[in-house]
Protein backbone atom coordinates (compact mmCIF):
# COMPACT_ATOMS: atom_id res chain seq x y z
CA UNK A 1 0.00 0.00 0.00
CA UNK A 2 2.96 2.34 0.65
CA UNK A 3 4.26 1.93 -2.89
CA UNK A 4 0.81 2.64 -4.27
CA UNK A 5 0.58 6.00 -2.38
CA UNK A 6 4.12 6.95 -3.33
CA UNK A 7 3.40 6.19 -6.97
CA UNK A 8 0.25 8.29 -6.98
CA UNK A 9 1.89 11.12 -5.06
CA UNK A 10 4.87 11.03 -7.43
CA UNK A 11 2.56 11.20 -10.44
CA UNK A 12 0.58 14.09 -8.94
CA UNK A 13 3.79 15.88 -8.00
CA UNK A 14 5.13 15.47 -11.57
CA UNK A 15 1.83 16.75 -13.05
CA UNK A 16 1.87 19.78 -10.70
CA UNK A 17 5.48 20.60 -11.63
CA UNK A 18 4.80 20.22 -15.37
CA UNK A 19 1.62 22.34 -15.14
CA UNK A 20 3.47 25.06 -13.21
CA UNK A 21 6.34 25.03 -15.70
CA UNK A 22 3.92 25.30 -18.64
CA UNK A 23 2.09 28.22 -17.00
CA UNK A 24 5.38 30.02 -16.25
CA UNK A 25 6.57 29.45 -19.82
CA UNK A 26 3.30 30.80 -21.23
CA UNK A 27 3.81 34.00 -19.24
CA UNK A 28 7.59 34.28 -19.62
CA UNK A 29 7.87 33.75 -23.41
CA UNK A 30 5.98 36.93 -24.43
CA UNK A 31 7.71 38.88 -21.64
CA UNK A 32 11.16 37.87 -22.85
CA UNK A 33 10.19 38.66 -26.45
CA UNK A 34 8.97 42.12 -25.40
CA UNK A 35 12.21 42.87 -23.55
CA UNK A 36 14.52 41.58 -26.28
CA UNK A 37 12.71 42.99 -29.36
CA UNK A 38 14.05 46.58 -29.20
CA UNK A 39 17.64 45.38 -28.74
CA UNK A 40 17.44 42.83 -31.54
CA UNK A 41 17.40 45.51 -34.25
CA UNK A 42 15.22 43.35 -36.48
CA UNK A 43 14.06 46.31 -38.56
CA UNK A 44 17.42 48.08 -38.92
CA UNK A 45 19.12 47.71 -42.26
CA UNK A 46 15.86 46.73 -43.93
CA UNK A 47 14.47 48.74 -46.78
CA UNK A 48 12.15 51.48 -45.60
CA UNK A 49 10.34 52.61 -48.73
CA UNK A 50 8.39 55.79 -48.06
CA UNK A 51 6.20 57.70 -50.50
CA UNK A 52 7.76 61.08 -51.16
CA UNK A 53 5.95 62.81 -54.03
CA UNK A 54 4.00 62.29 -57.24
CA UNK A 55 6.38 61.77 -60.16
CA UNK A 56 4.49 64.27 -62.32
CA UNK A 57 4.90 66.97 -59.61
CA UNK A 58 8.68 67.03 -60.18
CA UNK A 59 10.08 69.41 -62.80
CA UNK A 60 12.93 68.09 -64.93
CA UNK A 61 16.28 68.97 -63.29
CA UNK A 62 14.75 71.15 -60.55
CA UNK A 63 15.39 69.90 -56.99
CA UNK A 64 12.37 69.66 -54.72
CA UNK A 65 12.69 69.33 -50.93
CA UNK A 66 10.29 66.76 -49.47
CA UNK A 67 9.67 65.83 -45.83
CA UNK A 68 9.76 62.10 -45.13
CA UNK A 69 6.81 61.27 -42.88
CA UNK A 70 6.06 57.87 -41.38
CA UNK A 71 5.42 56.07 -38.12
CA UNK A 72 8.52 56.13 -35.92
CA UNK A 73 9.38 53.38 -33.47
CA UNK A 74 11.65 54.02 -30.51
CA UNK A 75 12.03 50.91 -28.34
CA UNK A 76 8.46 50.20 -27.25
CA UNK A 77 6.86 53.48 -28.33
CA UNK A 78 5.32 54.16 -31.74
CA UNK A 79 4.81 57.78 -32.80
CA UNK A 80 2.33 58.14 -35.66
CA UNK A 81 3.07 60.27 -38.74
CA UNK A 82 6.33 61.82 -37.54
CA UNK A 83 8.74 63.74 -39.77
CA UNK A 84 11.81 61.49 -39.91
CA UNK A 85 13.88 63.84 -42.04
CA UNK A 86 13.86 65.37 -45.50
CA UNK A 87 15.26 64.64 -48.94
CA UNK A 88 15.96 66.48 -52.18
CA UNK A 89 14.37 64.87 -55.25
CA UNK A 90 15.65 65.65 -58.76
CA UNK A 91 13.87 64.31 -61.82
CA UNK A 92 16.23 63.16 -64.57
CA UNK A 93 14.12 61.82 -67.45
CA UNK A 94 12.25 58.75 -66.26
CA UNK A 95 14.47 58.39 -63.17
CA UNK A 96 14.61 60.35 -59.91
CA UNK A 97 17.81 61.14 -58.00
CA UNK A 98 17.50 61.53 -54.26
CA UNK A 99 19.86 63.20 -51.78
CA UNK A 100 19.50 63.40 -48.02
CA UNK A 101 18.73 66.96 -46.87
CA UNK A 102 20.98 66.41 -43.84
CA UNK A 103 24.54 67.74 -44.08
CA UNK A 104 27.18 65.01 -43.67
CA UNK A 105 29.29 67.43 -41.61
CA UNK A 106 27.17 68.15 -38.51
CA UNK A 107 23.59 67.36 -39.54
CA UNK A 108 22.42 70.85 -40.55
CA UNK A 109 19.64 71.22 -43.11
CA UNK A 110 20.89 71.42 -46.69
CA UNK A 111 19.58 74.25 -48.86
CA UNK A 112 19.55 74.68 -52.63
CA UNK A 113 20.49 77.52 -54.94
CA UNK A 114 19.61 77.34 -58.63
CA UNK A 115 23.04 78.60 -59.73
CA UNK A 116 25.48 76.99 -57.31
CA UNK A 117 23.72 73.78 -56.31
CA UNK A 118 23.33 72.49 -52.76
CA UNK A 119 24.82 74.19 -49.68
CA UNK A 120 24.97 74.07 -45.90
CA UNK A 121 24.17 77.57 -44.60
CA UNK A 122 25.70 76.89 -41.17
CA UNK A 123 29.27 75.82 -41.96
CA UNK A 124 29.71 76.92 -45.59
CA UNK A 125 29.91 73.48 -47.20
CA UNK A 126 29.02 73.45 -50.87
CA UNK A 127 27.83 70.55 -53.01
CA UNK A 128 27.50 70.26 -56.79
CA UNK A 129 24.19 69.57 -58.51
CA UNK A 130 25.11 65.87 -58.50
CA UNK A 131 25.67 65.94 -54.70
CA UNK A 132 29.50 65.84 -54.85
CA UNK A 133 31.39 67.83 -52.20
CA UNK A 134 32.82 71.07 -53.61
CA UNK A 135 33.86 73.23 -50.62
CA UNK A 136 33.76 73.44 -46.86
CA UNK A 137 34.30 71.15 -43.91
CA UNK A 138 31.90 68.38 -44.97
CA UNK A 139 33.88 65.11 -45.08
CA UNK A 140 31.88 63.69 -48.02
CA UNK A 141 29.26 64.54 -50.61
CA UNK A 142 25.54 64.41 -50.00
CA UNK A 143 24.19 60.99 -49.07
CA UNK A 144 22.31 59.40 -51.99
CA UNK A 145 19.20 57.35 -51.38
CA UNK A 146 17.58 54.82 -53.68
CA UNK A 147 14.31 55.68 -55.39
CA UNK A 148 11.66 53.88 -57.38
CA UNK A 149 8.44 54.93 -59.07
CA UNK A 150 5.36 52.90 -58.12
CA UNK A 151 1.94 53.74 -59.56
CA UNK A 152 3.07 57.29 -60.42
CA UNK A 153 4.50 57.96 -56.95
CA UNK A 154 8.18 58.36 -56.10
CA UNK A 155 9.22 56.15 -53.20
CA UNK A 156 12.49 56.59 -51.31
CA UNK A 157 14.44 53.91 -49.42
CA UNK A 158 14.91 56.28 -46.48
CA UNK A 159 17.90 55.93 -44.16
CA UNK A 160 19.91 58.30 -41.99
CA UNK A 161 23.71 58.31 -41.89
CA UNK A 162 26.37 59.17 -39.34
CA UNK A 163 27.77 62.69 -39.65
CA UNK A 164 31.34 63.94 -39.41
CA UNK A 165 33.10 60.95 -40.98
CA UNK A 166 34.22 60.34 -44.58
CA UNK A 167 32.52 56.92 -44.81
CA UNK A 168 28.79 56.56 -45.28
CA UNK A 169 27.67 54.58 -42.20
CA UNK A 170 23.97 54.00 -41.62
CA UNK A 171 22.50 54.84 -38.23
CA UNK A 172 20.70 51.91 -36.58
Give the tens place of pLDDT for each residue, 96-107: 999 999 999 998
Q: At 34, which helix (H) or strand (E)?
A: helix 2-40
CB 118 within 8 A of CB 141: no
Task: From residue 80, give the alpha-carbon distance in Å to each of 59, 60, 153.
Answer: 30, 33, 21
Contacts for 107 with CB less than 8 Å, ≥ 6 apart: 163
Check whether 88 has a pLDDT greater than 90: yes
CA count, 13 A, side-chain hemisphere, 84: 25
Identify the band that residue 44 occupies on the pLDDT scale cut at 50, 70 and 90: very low
Q: Give residue 7's pLDDT band: very low, low, confident or very high (50, 70, 90).
A: confident
Calculate what percentage of the chain has a pLDDT beyond 70: 86
Q: CA 85, CA 102: separation in Å to the nearest integer? A: 8
What backbone torsions phi and psi does residue 102 show, to the nearest 5 degrees?
-105, 125
pLDDT range class, residue 45, cuts 50, 70, 90 = very low
| Between 20 and 103, the higher pLDDT residue | 103
- Pairwise CA distance, residues 158 & 145, whole Å: 7
Interval 127-155 mean pLDDT: 93
Amino acid sequence: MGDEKTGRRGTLRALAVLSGAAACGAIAAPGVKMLVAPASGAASGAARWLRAARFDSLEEGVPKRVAMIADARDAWTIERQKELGAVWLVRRGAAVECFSATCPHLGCTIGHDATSGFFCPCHDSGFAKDGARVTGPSPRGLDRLQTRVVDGAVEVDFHRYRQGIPERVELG
